[in-house]
Amino acid sequence: MPHAWVKEPEGAPERSGAFRFADGDPPAARLTLWPHRSLSPEGFVWFVGLTAGALALPLLSVLGSPVLWGLLPFVVLTLWGLWWAIRRNAQDGALTEELTLWRDRIQLVRREPRGRVRDWAADPYWVRVEMHESGGPVEKYLTLRGGGREVEIGAFLSPEERAVLRAELLDALARVR
């Protein structure tokens, strides 16, 4: 599953006292989620390079003739379109969701590909993790409810990954309550 948990060691907090939302207190856990990446940057270079080579092979037969100049713009346009489409897909997949959990606060920050940032925070004691088996935009739709709002988390994951994520979230919330 494309996610990473960073959990802080349990023990007494560095600061004590009856205050809430203490700036500087380390989080109890941090979760980062991102969509699957099917093509690495190295794979992109290899794919475009091999495609360029495959498109250049038929051009060798017309090398030195005026037909080359008629075919060359279409080959270049095809390569440029392929490069642009794969790059655009990679940029659209540059989505991350970061859930940070303190003893007195839970915060979810969603960074979208075009720079939009969505933020949600609540008291973890009152947060409910809900799995909607049907009726959501995706199968096994996972949401967090608290602070007067309901927000989705991990909608880009597979249904099985969302079920695992639900169990991990319930476990993390139980540890800080």
Write down the mean pLDDT value for the chain: 88
**Are 116 and 50 contained in the same domain?**
no
**154: in domain:** yes
Q: Write down the pLDDT at residue 39.
A: 85
Report whether pLDDT(15) > 60: no
Report whether pLDDT(96) > 60: yes
**102: in domain:** yes
Q: Write down the pLDDT at residue 83.
A: 94
Q: Write down the pLDDT at residue 135.
A: 79
**Are 30 and 56 contained in the same domain?**
no
156 touches 35 (CB < 8 A): yes
104 touches 121 (CB < 8 A): no
Q: What is the pLDDT of residues 60-91, one digit of tens each?
A: 999 999 999 999 999 999 999 999 999 988 88
**16: in domain:** no
Residue 24 pLDDT class (50, 70, 90 cuts) = low
**Are 172 and 105 contained in the same domain?**
yes
Q: Write down the pLDDT at residue 94.
A: 84
**Are 77 and 100 contained in the same domain?**
no
Residue 19 pLDDT class (50, 70, 90 cuts) = very low
**Are 66 and 102 contained in the same domain?**
no
Q: What is the pLDDT of residues 123-175, one digit of tens each?
A: 999 999 999 988 788 889 999 999 999 999 998 999 999 999 999 999 999 99
Between residues 101 and 18, the one the model is more confident about? 101
Asked which of 33-37, 47-51, 127-131, 159-163 is least confident by mean pLDDT, the reply is 33-37
**147: in domain:** yes
Q: Provide the domain limits for residue 120.
A: 3-10+22-35+96-176
**136: in domain:** yes
Report whether pLDDT(22) > 80: no
123 touches 104 (CB < 8 A): yes
**Are 28 and 108 contained in the same domain?**
yes
Burial of 151 (0-12, 13-18, 19+ CB in 10 A): middle
**Are 104 and 167 contained in the same domain?**
yes
109 touches 119 (CB < 8 A): yes
**Are 152 and 168 contained in the same domain?**
yes
Number of domains, the chain? 2
